[in-house]
Amino acid sequence: MGRNHSHHQAKLPNDSKFARLFLVHFLCLFAPFIFSWGVHCLALVLYVVTGLFGITLSYHRNLAHKSFKLPKWLEYTFAYIGIQALQAVRIFLLMHSTFLVNSVCHVWGHQAWKTGDLSRNNGLIALISFGEGWHNNHHAFQSSARHGLECWQMDMTWYVITFLECIGLAKDLKVPSDLQKQKMLP
């Protein structure tokens, strides 16, 4: 009995540590309901502005893949927003969505093109990552400014890029040709 007791006592601190950890994480689930809507609206706006303009539009499609051209002043402005995003706490959300694109989009989803890798199209991820979830499309046509290639494939970043083209700011938008598409058909 004494042995059992000491064994139990030795385990207790771990159990309570676990319980506390569990409680803290469990409480986090309720955080969205406890915090005010104002804070969340602001966080959402910052997420869209920094994520869409800074990361997907500027860093990824404009700078990394050069899939369209912007006047220098606007290129720098968007890149600056991207830097702000990388420096701030908001990166937390962005990192999670980037992580999701890179992990989920190589495991779950549909392969529309013969890319010879594991990349997939995931509409749910595309929705929260401004179109980056059309990852099989992106692997197939890396220099395309448009990731959601079908009209039903929602791609917020692409909509903004086409708007920028409409008002004369974005130029030379790259999209895959019919021939390029044919070559990639499975």
136 near Zn ion, rule: CB under 5 A: no
Structure token pair of residue 181: 């598409």
Closer to Zn ion by Cβ: residue 46 or 173: 173
In whole angstroms, how close is the CB of 118 to Zn ion at the nearest point? Answer: 8
In whole angstroms, how close is the CB of 41 to Zn ion at the nearest point? Answer: 30
Residues, the chain, total? Answer: 186
Please give the single-letter amino acid code of residue 33: F
**Can you say whether the dihedral through the CA atoms of 145, 148, 152, 158 is positive or negative?**
negative
Structure token pair of residue 120: 């997939």
Task: Pick the stretch among 8-16, 25-33, 115-123, 166-174 that binds Zn ion (CB under 5 A).
Answer: 115-123
Task: Pick the stretch among 28-36, 67-75, 118-126, 175-183 that binds Zn ion (CB under 5 A).
Answer: 118-126
The closest residue (CB) to Zn ion is 119
- Considering only 50, 67, 97, 119, the residue that binds Zn ion (CB under 5 A) is 119
Number of Cβ within 10 Å of residue 23's Cβ equals 10
Please give the single-letter amino acid code of residue 107: V
Closest residue by Cα to residue 137 from 161, 118, 121: 121
In whole angstroms, how close is the CB of 39 to Zn ion at the nearest point? Answer: 32
Closer to Zn ion by Cβ: residue 21 or 64: 64
Closer to Zn ion by Cβ: residue 50 or 136: 136
Structure token pair of residue 105: 């989009």
Task: Pick the stretch among 44-52, 80-88, 91-99, 111-119 that binds Zn ion (CB under 5 A).
Answer: 111-119
Residue 14 parent element (H or E)? helix 2-28
Interacting residues of 176 by C-beta distance below 8 A, sequence separation 6+ = 140, 141, 144, 149, 184
* Number of residues binding to Zn ion, judged by CB under 5 A: 1
Closer to Zn ion by Cβ: residue 34 or 107: 107
List of residues contacting Zn ion (CB under 5 A):
119
